[in-house]
Amino acid sequence: MKLGRAFVLAAAFGPALFSADLPVREVILYKHGVAFFERSGELKPGETARLDFKAEDMNDVLKSLTITDRKGGSISGVRYDASESLDKRLADFPFALGDQTSLSAFLDQLKGAQLEVRLGPETISGAIAGARLALIEDNGKSTQRETVTLLTGAGELRTIDLAAASSVKLTDPKLQALLANYLGVLNNARSKDKRSVYIDSVASAARELVASYMTPAAVWKSSYRLLFSGKDEPTLEGWAIVDNTSGEDWTNVKLSVVSGRPISFITQLYPPRYVQRPNAELAEDRPVGPQVFAGTVASIGAAPPPAAPKQAARAQGQAGIGGGGGSGVGGGRYMVNGSVAAVQQSSFDSIASGEDAGELFEYSFSSPVTVKMGESAMLPFLQQRVGARKLLIYSENMGLHPMNAAEISNSTGKTLDGGPITVYDSGSYAGEALVETLKTGDKRLISYGVDLGMRISTAWDTSRENVREIHLRRGLLTARSAIQETKTYTIQNVDAQAKTLVIEHPQRPGYTLLSQAAPEKTSNAYRFEVPVPASGSKTFAVQEERVADQTISLSSATPDVLTTWIQNKTLSDAGRRQLEQIAQKKSDIEANDAALKEIETDRDSLTKDQQRLRQNIQSLNAVAGQQDQVQQYARQLAATESRLASLRDNEIDLRKKKTQLQADLNSLIEKADF
């Protein structure tokens, strides 16, 4: 008898398991990769509600699961499958069932356990002494049979052919429960990607349970249609595209979609977490002497024990988990946001209602929604008149032609989630666009086609750089100069109808507008609205100015550089006088330095002459009859020495003068301020 029969027989070993169904009642889809699920159903006494999840979703479930009893009961907690391996989970059981384990091999692991075997009308009970696969002689033929040997209450050892038994039962309730748990672990392990959460009913009455949680899910997408028709305001129609990737059907659920991106993250709550504990030992026992305690001098009434904290009641209306009262683990409900769109007006049975939820916005579909497992659905969430006007938009990167565009003002009172827009004009397809999430009261430009009836060219005109201001403070001369640039847009409209053109002129760092203020400005461009006549042309010029500062240090500036600034017409009279004094002082210093350099040159020349004369005198002293020539060289050497002494005196005077001139210059620079 193989394990298949063992399982059939083992079903009688343990109590029956009852599972309550908690179907999905509500789904809320967000834009950041998670979804809110609410399940509810009746849990009768003795029943267990089981919720199955993907193993990788358990972290989010354990982080967000809330359970409420609508009938006012309380929840003590939940159980769930551990993330340990199957071998580790089965290792704690006192028996093992392999893939080919026979019934006799299983019973042999339970030696000493009480077993009840029914053989026809006879029932034999006793403790298991052993079980094996034995050879039995029957009419001269040997066959293998599974047998079990029992020690009966009368002290007899009886060997029983299990093939002849109509039933086998373990009479110990603990063993029955262990076997049931073992088989349950094996059954759950068949799906390696599934993990279960169990909610047990320990109350004596039926309970109405609501379980809510967040799990990863496909984000919902929004799609729009914008319909221009005649003189009426255009219609904007919005569809929500939802994908059911949850692994089960959504049948008549309350569905909502959210616009907004709350913060969400994954925390590793499902895998067991272990910590390294420190080693600690008690100190060696030591004799303890008597201790004398001081007596009290006053008695103060003992304070009453602190009252147990009262559990705050949880309000559970539309914003709660479930609709009724009651207490439970967790509570509260997640809110959301929606979007808009329109094509040729569709015939909707109902439109989703929208409401703000803090910084988010929720669209709730009024009718129950059914989406089968693995299917997707398009659900209308908005159909409403919206403020919009047609115009053209142009920026230089578009080339020769501007784009057909529309300016949409969100007058719906709802948040419009970002998504694609298909534009219809007078019942015909006009193009497609993308729009970012649009809050109520905000407006946005969308472009959906190229307008071939208008051509635009641009030309630049740049003026020379002009100095506007000159300032001097703390020895630094700062000149503020400006350069003006004009960009001219030449617009040619060949269509026989007037048009409104929006020009997006790029913002450049350091440049400011001169000719006009921009009615609108984006993060990187100015927007100018230009009416263009039918079958005509127009030019539009944008003047800009760039202001830059140039700073020089007067201590390092040459007189020629200062003369250039002195001649600048922008300089004030007071500033000109101060710069002239500084320039003159710098010129005096340069002249003094030139005189010092000339003295140094003369001194070097005279020193070389002295060396030559001394060499000549030394050479002639060794030659007879050259005394006259030696005397002549001696007189020249004396004259050179006299001139060197005079040069040294002049050098000392010039260096003193330079010190004074430099002090005067530093004083002028320090005092200069304009």
Q: Tell me: the pLDDT tens digits for 589-617? A: 888 888 888 888 888 888 888 788 788 77
- Please indicate whether residue 137 or residue 551 has the higher confidence score (pLDDT): 551
Question: What gap in Å lies between CA 316 and CA 325, rounded to an integer?
Answer: 6
56 within some domain: yes
Is residue 659 in a domain? yes
Where would I find the beta strands (DSSP E) of 533-606?
Answer: 537-553
Least confident residue range of 422-431, 479-488, 627-636: 627-636
**Count of other CB atoms within 10 angstroms of residue 169:** 16
Instruction: Say whether 591 sits in a helix, a strand or coil.
Output: helix
Contacts of 276 (CB under 8 A, 6+ apart): none
Given a cut of 50, whether residue 291 has pLDDT beyond it is no
The domain that holds 129 is classified in CATH as 2.30.30.720
Q: Are residues 94 and 123 in the same domain?
A: yes
Q: Between these two residues, 409 and 331, which has the higher pLDDT value?
A: 409
Q: Are 503 and 645 within one domain?
A: no
Residues 536 and 568 in one domain: no
Residue 249 lies in a domain: no
Tokens of 133: 């696969």
- The DSSP code for 294 is P
Q: Are residues 565 and 548 in the same domain?
A: no
Read off the pLDDT of each residue in 321-331 and give the average, rounded to a whole number.
32
Q: What is the pLDDT of residues 266-278, one digit of tens each?
A: 788 777 777 777 8
- The pLDDT tens digits of the residues spanning 218-267 come to 999 999 999 998 777 899 999 999 999 988 899 999 999 888 777 877 78
Which range of 298-302, 527-531, 598-602, 625-629 scores highest in mean pLDDT? It is 527-531
Are residues 78 and 196 both part of a single domain? yes
Q: Decide which of 553, 579, 596 is a domain's last residue.
A: 553
The pLDDT value given to residue 77: 74
Please say if the pLDDT value at position 288 is more than 60. Answer: no
pLDDT band at 338 (very low <50, low <70, confident <90, very high): very low
Lowest mean pLDDT among 195-204, 253-262, 387-396, 597-606: 195-204
Instruction: Determine the pLDDT at residue 325.
Output: 35
Quote the percentage of the chain above a pLDDT of 90: 17
pLDDT of the residue at 13: 36
Instruction: Determine, yes or no, domain membership for 394.
Output: no
Q: 518, 553, 588 — which closes off a domain?
A: 553
**For 440-450, what is the mean pLDDT?**
88
Kindly state whether residues 628 and 657 are assigned to the same domain.
Answer: yes
DSSP, collapsed to helix, strand or coil, labels residue 618 as: helix
Q: Is there a single domain that holds both residue 595 and residue 642? A: yes
Last residue of a domain, one of 154, 186, 215: 215
Name the region of 112 (left: φ>0; alpha: ψ -120 to 50; beta: rest).
Answer: left
Quote the number of domains for the chain: 3
Closest CA to 151 of 112, 122, 123: 112
Of 434, 263, 436, which Cα lies nearest the Cα of 358?
A: 263
> Looking at 197-201, 380-384, 624-628, which range is the least confident one?
624-628
Q: What is the DSSP string of 187-212?
A: HHTTSTTEEEEEEE--SSS-EEEEEE
Asked if 391 and 276 touch (Cβ cutoff 8 Å), the reply is no
pLDDT at 8 over 60: no
For position 141, what pLDDT does the model report? 77
Residue that the structure tokens 């300016």 belong to: 407
- Taking 50 as the threshold, does the pLDDT of residue 341 lie above it? no
Q: Region 647-666: what's the mean pLDDT?
A: 86
547, part of any domain: yes
207, part of any domain: yes
Sequence-ordered strand ranges (E) for 45-166: 48-54, 66-69, 79-80, 114-119, 122-138, 141-152, 157-161
Range of the domain at 534: 456-553
Confirm whether 275 is domain-assigned: no
Are residues 635 and 486 part of one domain? Answer: no
Range from 314-328, 385-399, 467-481 carrying the lowest mean pLDDT: 314-328
> What CATH number did the domain enclosing 654 receive?
1.20.120
First CA to last CA across the chain, in angstroms? 111
Residues 84 and 56 in one domain: yes
Residues 6+ apart with CB under 8 A from 492: 454, 455, 456, 537
**Token pair belonging to 460:** 């630049």
Q: Note whether 82 and 112 are same-domain residues.
A: yes
Kindly indicate the confidence band of residue 300, based on its pLDDT and cuts at 50, 70 and 90. Answer: very low
Lowest-confidence range among 11-20, 338-347, 438-447, 462-471?
A: 11-20
The residue among 218, 263, 217, 268 whose CA lies nearest residue 59 is 268
Largest CA distance in the chain: 169
Between CA 213 and CA 47 the distance in angstroms is 21
Based on the fold, state whether residues 61 and 174 are members of the same structural domain.
yes
Higher-confidence residue of 270 and 450: namely 450
Mean pLDDT on 423-450: 88
- Per-residue exposure over 241-263, b if at least 16 CB sit within 10 Å of its own CB, e if not: bbbbebeebbeebbbbbbbbebe
The pLDDT assigned to 191 comes to 60
| Same domain for 166 and 57 | yes
Total residues belonging to the chain: 674
| The model's pTM | 0.59
Say if 247 falls within a structural domain: no
The answer for residues whose C-beta is within 8 angstroms of residue 605's C-beta and 6 or more apart is none
